[in-house]
Amino acid sequence: DTRTIIARCPAPLVPLPSRGCGCGAHLEPTFRADDAAGFEVDFEALRRLPAAECQPCRFAYHKPSAGNGRCVPQQWPAIAGTSVCALVVIVVLMTFVRCVYLRRLLRLAEVERESAEKDRRIRQAVTGVTTLEFPLAVMPLSKLREQGRLVSYEEARDAGALRFCDTVESAVAFAAGLPVMFVSHQWLSRHHPDPKAQHYPAILEAAEALCARQGLDPESLHIWLDYHSIPQENTTTKRLAIGSIALYAACSHYFLACAPEALHQDSRPPCKVDADTYLQRGWCRLEQWAFMAINGSAQMYVFDSSLSQLSSRRRWIEESVNVFNGHFTHEADKALLVDVVLGLYGLAVIAALDPSVAAGRHLTGGKGPQHVPQQASPPLAGPQLTELIAERRGLIFPRQHFGDLVDRLEAELEWGARESECLARESTSPSTTYRAARTARRTLDHTGSPSHRTCSV
């Protein structure tokens, strides 16, 4: 009698060809493979094997057939993983390179915009000296006597004591027919230039002395003075008038620095002011430079105890161009003067580069009014002024205010001058800044006929 014994493997084990039980394909035992060596038909052991004895192969591992062996690593995940890593590195590098490239492009574009803005600012500063943003307002000497004191722009305007020129053409034509004196003085209080009428009689005395020296009719002399020529109450129009100060100076034949000994009323006790304190004021220096850069120094005068020529005082000439180291009541005013000073310096440079537009337009040409004396050359003209500035360049153009604007202005004008000489035709010069500077200079050099005066009362 033959009996057949059938052995069944408990799940999840499967029968093996070796008559044993083991884990199926893609499964591996939880114990080591060598622990199962020689495990054939041990039914007692089979009964003790739990259902969790086999576990799936880990990711990237496989076991193609049933058995008690361990899962082995697959080849494709390593290759794929390496490829993916390489791709990620390449993408990261490309992204980094693209970011660096785009950042560089943006930086270059920003530099180009800054450069273009600086060039525009330089051209505007140079041409701005021929732009009349606010009318030229002057007061006849006779009207100044009638006032009995220094009056504000608003008061003088309402009293009909001012004459106005609304355009550059009318201002230049007016100056071609009548003498104009540009008066500069130190204010004797914060809110009024002459509260105790200390400067007023000195201005009248200086004007009379100038008329006697130059052979002028006092009734024809007109006075430009900041308090009655620049708006005092409206900040916007006041700023416009300040921006036109170079043109006001260009339309003036004489410059007077009124600096007699006086008392400043805001200090306690009142402190003495004189020619030395006048010369320290930033605004006073700017007014001197504005006249000097365009007309030279031949017709610049100082009145302290008597009238004398400013050109005889070398220290005054040197200090007048040092505007930004002067004293300002409000430091913020310096920012307003950068473009004005830059434009004035541009006129001085163009006069030094091109003798045909040298300084002193009222003094050297034959087109000026007959009351202005003719001289061969002013004591201080374009070349001398630029040499004086070069000696003290760092102080005159502080970097915190000008940056590289002065360097760019000089480079543009010098390049334009060389190109103009080579091409022998100014209109073909590639430097628009040079052409703008020459045009501005020639506009100031041109004087109209007295018969074309169009200023209003």
pLDDT tens, 192-210? Answer: 999 999 999 999 999 999 9
| Cα separation, 367 vs 369, whole angstroms | 7
| Cα separation, 82 vs 87, whole angstroms | 8
Residue 381 has pLDDT above 70, yes or no: no
Predicted pLDDT of residue 448: 37
84 contact partners, CB below 8 Å, separation of at least 6: none
| Cα separation, 176 vs 372, whole angstroms | 9
Predicted pLDDT of residue 77: 65
Cβ neighbours around 170 below 10 Å, total: 21
Predicted pLDDT of residue 137: 96
Residue 147 has pLDDT above 90, yes or no: yes
Read off the tokens for 347.
């006129």
Per the listing, tokens 């034949």 go with 253
| Cα separation, 395 vs 319, whole angstroms | 11
Category of 383 on φ-ψ map: left (φ > 0), alpha (ψ -120 to 50) or beta: alpha
Per the listing, tokens 């305007």 go with 157
Read off the tokens for 322.
């040092």
Q: Looking at residues 127-148, what average pLDDT do you find?
A: 91
Per the listing, tokens 């930004």 go with 324
Category of 38 on φ-ψ map: left (φ > 0), alpha (ψ -120 to 50) or beta: left
Per the listing, tokens 């041109």 go with 446
Of 76-90, 136-150, 323-337, the range with the highest mean pLDDT is 136-150
Question: For residues 206 and 122, which has the higher predicted lDDT (pLDDT)?
Answer: 206
Of 4-8, 259-263, 339-343, 448-452, the range with the highest mean pLDDT is 259-263
127 contact partners, CB below 8 Å, separation of at least 6: 343, 436, 439, 440
Per the listing, tokens 């541009």 go with 346
| Cα separation, 258 vs 317, whole angstroms | 16
| CB 286 within 8 Å of CB 334 | no
Predicted pLDDT of residue 124: 84
What sign does the CA torsion over 402, 403, 408, 410 have?
Answer: positive
If you average pLDDT over every residue of the chain, what do you get? 80
- Chain-centre distance for alpha carbon 117: 8
274: exposed, middle or buried (Cβ count in 10 Å: 0-12, 13-18, 19+)? middle
| CB 303 within 8 Å of CB 209 | yes
Q: What is the pLDDT of residues 33-90, one digit of tens each?
A: 444 444 444 545 544 544 447 888 887 788 888 888 888 887 776 677 788 888 999 9
What angle do the packed helices 382-391 and 333-353 form, to 10 degrees? 130
Range with the poorest average pLDDT among 187-196, 232-241, 331-340, 417-426: 417-426
| Cα separation, 249 vs 284, whole angstroms | 13
Question: For residues 340 and 445, which has the higher predicted lDDT (pLDDT)?
Answer: 340
Predicted pLDDT of residue 258: 94
Range with the poorest average pLDDT among 55-69, 101-115, 353-367: 353-367
| Cα separation, 326 vs 417, whole angstroms | 33
Per the listing, tokens 């400067």 go with 199
